[in-house]
Structure 1
Amino acid sequence: MPVSEFYAGEPPLKYSFMDDYSEGAHPQILDSLLRNNRTQQTSYGKDDFCEQARKSIRQHLGCSESEVSIHFVPSGTSANLISISSCLRPFEAVIAVDSGHIVSKEAGAIEATGHKIIQVPAVNGKMTPETLEKGFRQNQFAPHMAKPRLVYISNASEIGTVYTKSELCQISETCRKLGLLLFMDGARIGAALSSHKNDMAWRDIVDFTDIFWIGGTKLGALLGEAIVIKNTQIAQDFIYHLKQHGALLAKGRVIGIQFLELFGSNLFLELGSHANAMALRISTLLTELGFMLSAETETNQVFVKLPLALVDHLQSRFHFYIWEETGDGHAVVRFVTSWATEAMQVDKLNAYIKQGLVLM
């Protein structure tokens, strides 16, 4: 859909590459919400839309109803804190990489539930079996230290890199060896599974993890995430955790309708592929111009080190994050593309980058 159709009147003076949730929702989702607006249904996720969405998701996962339970929540932070806290006893802890989203981007949500986060070094944004096991071994002074029980990873990672099947398999095997649960944050799982670097299927994620979630907010939905639980002990009474944390919506249908649209066909991964392709166009130009990427562009996030003069030039026309000021007259910036990003917007950004180099 042309960008002009997303805005009333003229397109914005500035285009945003700030994140992948600055737009509303995919038109197909909005249309379904409107068409079903007056349909009367039961509440709290027991409606027909949620049930059909669960069925469609299970078909994509390659799972039966008895293998996984699926619950819908309104946000990524709620998905993380409820999933993690439901798995742990009061004295148990989470192991996560130091760049992990739960470490610095959720206002201490996990710690607020009473659980310590044990940080280990990230390698290209990801957990490795070696760093995982070292973090586990360093926290065995029982009963004086919080007991490691769950491993948190995200796919894609905080810097947009993806886990290979072999990497995830090794982490899963390490968790089993150490008696740990494995939880995957899937805020950008659609981008990860659509990546040119991905070699995993949905079923692999089910097999290798105990619990994970599928992010709709960052891939075409107005809001909403789907928590998928394979571990039967975690699944038991999970709905009480949702209710106690205010995430069991009376109008659960609102999320169910959206996931039914995303998974009733292959729309979810198609949107991820589009966002990734737009990001790759940006990073390709930047590397051709000789700029250094902070991480390979594997999904819909581009991290690049730019001169501050060029950053100032770009900020006059585009929104994006300054990820890190490096103190040498440069900064690492992040450009994020979405399901709604158009080639025209990317071309304007690329042209303005070239223009800025001429003016510098």
Structure 2
Amino acid sequence: MKTRMLGGLEVSAIGLGCMGMSQNYGPADRGESIASIHRSLDLGMTFLDSSDMYGVSSVSGMGHNEELIGEAIAGRRDGVTIATKFGIKGWSKDGSFVLDSSPAYAKQACEASLRRLKTDVIDLYYLHRRDRSMPIEEIIGGMAELVTEGKVRHIGLSEVNEDTLRRAHATYPLAALESEYSLFARHNEPAILPACLELGIGLVAFSPLGRGMLTGTVRTLEGLSDDDYRHTDPRFQGDNLVRNLALFDRIQDFAKEAGATTGQIALAWLLAKNEHIVPIPGTKRVRYVEENAAAADVALTAAQVGELDALVPGDAVSGDRYPEGIMRTIDA
């Protein structure tokens, strides 16, 4: 597995998103989840992504995902790059997140994450969502203190706008911005991506497989568990789903000609966009870990990237990225 740079942090070119092992996509088998992390490390996908809130929306509970990772990497910590997040404390009655970006909470949350991960330092610590009632400079100042104290190596932000990104980076250098980016989520391309490249900030692309839609594994909501997030995802509802699956079919035809799976094409497209973009496809199954890792060997030409851009234009996908309540919490 090749590596890429996120600011001053070297990571595997493709990472592993671990959220689904704890919430959002139906039940997960603990043994299979741990086996998936082990297989990811064996294949060189050593960049693991988590958050302290992964588990809070399920029976697993707050911190479940970090505890799982801590168990899985026991004895292998030196070969792993850990990214985790803070800032979301739970859910409000209107379906939005309860946020706390304060320096005091950052310190409290970081200490708890270190305990659950069974490590003495976090390689990349993100603010999961910004509390817009507080100046970003104050938030970043609190996160920078964690670096000074040796508890965190690098800091980053998630789902913020260009102005917030620039102000934050001017306060303390950011290694990465984590944001949704895929063939089905192109909102970063006009302003955020160019700003990242200008400032030397890496872009970590979450949901690079369109929450399963770009793999072809989800063509209907039937059969998904009742607590599966996609029951509330606007892009999987009614006419939106029909239109989006028609777009997927275009990619499927392209993939057949290229001799790869649609998921591998979606990841290879991101890798070809820029050398400082790192996709973190999420899975809880070994077979998909192996398929995702193989995407690093799928090399797309500039012409093929342009063809995919034309097949799925930025404004072609139907539906918001999140339900209304969550959209309100995004600093967009």
TM-score, length-scaled by structure 2: 0.37
